Chain A
Amino acid sequence: MKRSLVPVIYDFKRSFLRISTLVLLVVFIVAGVALSYLSYTMISSLAGPVRTIGLLVIDNSHVTVYGIAYDFAGKPLHDATLIFLSSSGQKILETKVSGTYKLEFNLPTNTSINRVKIISNGRSLVLPVFGLQPPDVKPCVYYYATYDAFPMSEAGGVLGFSFNETSRTGTLLAFSLLIIDKSSGEASLQVVAVNTSRSDLKPHLTLLVGSAKISHEPPAPYIYLSKHPINAEYHALTIDKNIVTTTVKYNPEDNYIIVLIKGSDKAAVINVNRLQPAKSFMVGSMLSSSGLTLFLNFFPIVFLYLAYVMLAKPKATGALEFILARPVTKWDLYMTRFLSGVLVALVSSAIFVVALDIASLVLWGITFSPYVSTVMFLALFVGLTAWYSFCYMIASGIKGSSGYLAVSIVLYLLFAMFWGLIVFLIMMSTGMGISTSGAESLSYKINLFNPIKISDLILYYMRLHYGLISPISWINPAIVASVSIVWIIAPFIIGYLLFKRD
Chain B
Amino acid sequence: MYVLFSVEDVTRYFGRFKALDNISFNVDNGEIVGYVGLNGAGKTTTIRICVGVLRPSSGDVVVDGYSITRQKREASFQIGWVPELPIFELNEKALDYFVYLAGYYGLSKDEARRLGKELFEQVGLSKFMNRRLKHFSLGMKKRFALAVSMINDPRNFFFDEVLNGLDPKGIAFFRDLVKIFKREGRAVLFSSHILSEVENIADKVVFIHKGRIIAVKSIDEIRSMARPALVIRVSNPDDKLAKILEKYGDVRVKGDKYILFYKEQPDKNQILRELIDNGYEVEEFRTARTSLEKVFFRLIGMEAGEK
Q: B-facing mask of A315-328, CB < 8 A → 1, else 0?
A: 00111011111111
Chain A residue nearest to B75 (CB atoms) is A327
Given contact pairs A1-B74, A502-B54, A502-B55, A327 touches B105 in the complex (Cβ within 8 A): yes
Query: Is B17 located at the chain interface by the 8 A CB criterion?
Result: no
A327 touches B53 (CB 8 A): no
A325 touches B109 (CB 8 A): no
Bound-state Cα–Cα, A321 to B100, Å: 15
Given contact pairs A322-B87, A329-B72, A2 touches B54 in the complex (Cβ within 8 A): no
Chain B contacts to A: CB under 8 angstroms: 48, 51-55, 72-74, 76-77, 79, 81, 83, 85, 87-90, 92, 96, 99-109, 112, 145, 148, 152
Query: Is A3 located at the chain interface by the 8 A CB criterion?
Result: yes
Query: Is A10 located at the chain interface by the 8 A CB criterion?
Result: yes
Given contact pairs A321-B48, A321-B53, A327-B77, A6 touches B112 in the complex (Cβ within 8 A): yes
Given contact pairs A4-B107, A6-B112, A321-B48, A326 touches B89 in the complex (Cβ within 8 A): no
Can you give 27 contacting A-B residue pairs, CB < 8 Å? A4-B104, A5-B103, A6-B99, A6-B100, A6-B107, A6-B109, A7-B104, A10-B100, A11-B100, A14-B92, A321-B53, A321-B83, A321-B87, A322-B88, A324-B52, A325-B81, A326-B104, A327-B73, A327-B74, A327-B76, A327-B77, A327-B104, A327-B105, A329-B72, A332-B73, A332-B104, A502-B55
Min distance, Cβ A310 to any Cβ of chain B, angstroms: 10
Q: B-facing mask of A11-29, CB < 8 A → 1, else 0?
A: 1001000000000000000
B103 touches A325 (CB 8 A): no
A10 touches B103 (CB 8 A): yes
A325 touches B88 (CB 8 A): no
Note all chain A residues with C-beta closer than 8 A to B54.
502
Other contacts beyond A327-B72, A327-B73: 12, CB < 8 A: A1-B73, A1-B77, A4-B103, A6-B100, A6-B109, A10-B103, A321-B83, A322-B87, A326-B105, A327-B77, A327-B105, A332-B73
Query: Is A170 located at the chain interface by the 8 A CB criterion?
Result: no
Interface residues on A, range: 20 to 34
Chain B residue nearest to A324 (CB atoms) is B53
Note all chain B residues with C-beta closer than 8 A to A327.
72-74, 76-77, 104-105, 152
Tell me the residues in window 46-85 of chain A with beta carbons closer than 8 Å to chain B beta carbons: none
Min distance, Cβ B144 to any Cβ of chain A, angstroms: 10
A319 touches B87 (CB 8 A): yes
B73 touches A325 (CB 8 A): no
Note all chain A residues with C-beta closer than 8 A to B148.
322
Bound-state Cα–Cα, A328 to B77, Å: 9
Min distance, Cβ B134 to any Cβ of chain A, angstroms: 11
Note all chain B residues with C-beta closer than 8 A to A319.
87-90
Chain A residue nearest to B50 (CB atoms) is A325
Given contact pairs A321-B87, A324-B53, A326-B105, A7 touches B100 in the complex (Cβ within 8 A): yes
A323 touches B104 (CB 8 A): yes
Min distance, Cβ A497 to any Cβ of chain B, angstroms: 14
Note all chain A residues with C-beta closer than 8 A to B76.
325-328
Note all chain B residues with C-beta closer than 8 A to A467.
none
Query: Is A314 located at the chain interface by the 8 A CB criterion?
Result: yes
Min distance, Cβ B42 to any Cβ of chain A, angstroms: 15
Bound-state Cα–Cα, A325 to B51, Å: 6
Note all chain B residues with C-beta closer than 8 A to A11.
100
Bound-state Cα–Cα, A328 to B105, Å: 9
Min distance, Cβ B260 to any Cβ of chain A, angstroms: 50
Min distance, Cβ A61 to any Cβ of chain B, angstroms: 84
The 8 residue pairs across chains A and B that have the minimum distance between CB atoms: A6-B103, A2-B106, A318-B87, A326-B104, A327-B76, A321-B53, A7-B103, A327-B73
